[in-house]
């Protein structure tokens, strides 16, 4: 039987293995992404006086923001470090010149540009440390197992492992012992070292001076967006009631008045009008049910977010696989925001992606010192190319999630697949 101590050791080893793989991903992605984006940013900004940069700079800065948003998502998911974005919205209808200089004047964008050289140097080192501590011991074990013979003839040093010169089996065994020590150190320190990488990222990406003012500004904008969205929703409901159910009920009332006048004079005509009135009442009831479902779906109120999303997937014209793990109910506002966000993303995928299949993953996680976090991932195998703010409806999803301090990230290369990730801080009841 496995003891509690054995269970803890196995859990620590599994955690270290996950950390090693994540650090290895960062070691590959960090220098390539940061160097390329930094070079493109410098070149594009230098070309601004020539006019070329006016067009290219917003595109390059959008790519930088996408890379930074991906790192924010990884920081929260892999290190429990939240780095809230604080970008200023670009005015609608801004010309290329105004758009370019608005982005260059945004403190959050300037922090992104400052972060790129830090990320390609200190960020690379802090990502490399946990990966090296967990992977470098493999070489030491291989040398101890006899691989040293491929590098030396036993008379002179042919290879170094760390500070150990390999010239025979005894020194190879010393390399294996050093590898074991490094592995033990890595198992115990790798999670903290990976978290250090994300703390370094946060120290640059997160606003420093004026952070509170920036936070207040973002909250003010998200709350204003919520109020505007609520007002628009009320106007839509009023319009749907006036043009739909109300008009049918008025027509049905007029039919009933005519029936009252004809019921003795022309019973046949009265019966026809009764059939018409019954049909109008059924249509009005259907429209009212559709309207109520658009305001707050009954299945969401009765059975919760998981079952509501599953019911939503059943109405999709393409197959959708749903993986939900929620052990309780969320607050009603959060449930509604998450439901309509998923609904918009699914609708977007059906309309624009040309996908043949959709996958939805929805789980609740607990982040140390941060509390609960609802993570929703929607993946489709469509043609890709989805971006926030390109008329795809994702901007509305971002505003909806922003009301609850949520984060939206989109990874959609041309040719697909598309992955939309959403995170909302919340707690289960």
**Between residues 62 and 301, the one the model is more confident about:** 62
Architecture of domain 301-425: 2-Layer Sandwich (3.30)
Q: How far is CA 31 from CA 28, 199, 353, in A?
A: 7, 18, 31
What's the Rg (C-alpha) of the chain?
A: 30
pLDDT at position 294: 56
**Between residues 13 and 423, the one the model is more confident about:** 423
Q: Look up residue 54 and give its two tokens.
A: 């006016």
pLDDT at 209 over 50: no
pLDDT at 1 over 50: no
| Cα 78 from Cα 69, distance rounded (Å) | 14
| Cα 248 from Cα 173, distance rounded (Å) | 88
pLDDT at position 215: 59
Residue ranges of domains in the chain:
4-208, 221-295, 301-425
pLDDT at position 36: 92
Q: Which of 17-26, 124-133, 367-376, 404-413 shows the lowest mean pLDDT across its residues?
A: 367-376
Tally Cβ neighbours within 10 Å of residue 145.
Answer: 11
Instruction: List the strands of the sheet with 320-325, edge to edge.
Output: 320-325, 358-367, 371-380, 418-425, 407-411
pLDDT at position 39: 92
In 3D space, the residue among 67, 71, 54, 65 whose CA is nearest the CA of residue 88 turns out to be 65
| Cα 245 from Cα 266, distance rounded (Å) | 29
- Is the model's pTM score more than 0.85? no
């Amino acid at each position: 039987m496995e003891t509690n101590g054995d269970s803890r050791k196995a859990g620590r080893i599994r955690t270290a293995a996950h950390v090693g793989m994540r650090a290895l991903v960062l070691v590959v992605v960090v220098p390539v992404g940061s160097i390329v984006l930094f070079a493109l940013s410098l070149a594009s900004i230098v070309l601004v006086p020539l006019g070329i940069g006016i067009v290219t700079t917003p595109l390059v800065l959008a790519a930088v923001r996408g890379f930074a948003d991906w790192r924010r998502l990884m920081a929260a998911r892999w290190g429990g470090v939240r780095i809230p974005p604080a970008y200023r919205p670009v005015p609608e209808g801004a010309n290329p010149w105004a758009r370019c200089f608005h982005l260059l004047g945004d403190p959050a964008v300037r922090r992104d540009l400052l972060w790129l050289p830090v990320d390609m140097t200190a960020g690379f080192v802090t990502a490399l440390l946990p990966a090296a501590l967990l992977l470098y011991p493999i070489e030491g074990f291989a040398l101890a197992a006899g691989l040293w013979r491929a590098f030396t003839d036993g008379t002179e040093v042919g290879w170094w492992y760390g500070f150990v010169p390999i010239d025979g089996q005894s020194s190879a065994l010393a390399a294996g012992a050093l590898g074991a020590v490094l592995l033990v150190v890595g198992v115990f320190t790798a999670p903290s070292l990976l978290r250090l990488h994300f703390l370094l990222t946060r120290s640059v990406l997160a606003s420093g001076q004026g952070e509170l003012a920036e936070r207040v500004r973002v909250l003010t904008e998200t709350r204003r967006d919520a109020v505007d969205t609520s007002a628009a929703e009320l106007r839509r409901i009023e319009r749907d009631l006036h043009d739909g159910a109300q008009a049918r009920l008025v027509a049905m009332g007029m039919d009933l008045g005519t029936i009252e006048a004809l019921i003795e004079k022309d019973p046949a005509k009265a019966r026809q009008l009764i059939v018409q009135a019954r049909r109008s009442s059924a249509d009005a009831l259907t429209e009212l049910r559709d309207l109520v479902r658009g305001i707050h779906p009954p299945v969401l109120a009765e059975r919760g977010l998981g079952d509501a999303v599953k019911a939503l997937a059943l109405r999709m014209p393409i197959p959708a696989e749903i993986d939900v793990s929620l052990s309780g109910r969320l607050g009603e506002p959060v449930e509604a925001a998450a439901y309509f966000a998923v609904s918009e993303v699914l609708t977007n995928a059906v309309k624009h992606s040309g996908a043949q299949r959709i996958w939805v993953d929805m789980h609740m996680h607990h982040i140390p010192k941060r509390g609960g976090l609802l993570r929703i991932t929607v993946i489709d195998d469509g043609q890709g190319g989805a971006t926030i703010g390109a008329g795809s409806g994702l901007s509305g999803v971002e505003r909806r999630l922003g009301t609850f301090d949520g984060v939206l990230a989109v990874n959609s290369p041309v040719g697909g697949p598309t992955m939309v990730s959403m995170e909302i801080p919340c707690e289960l009841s």
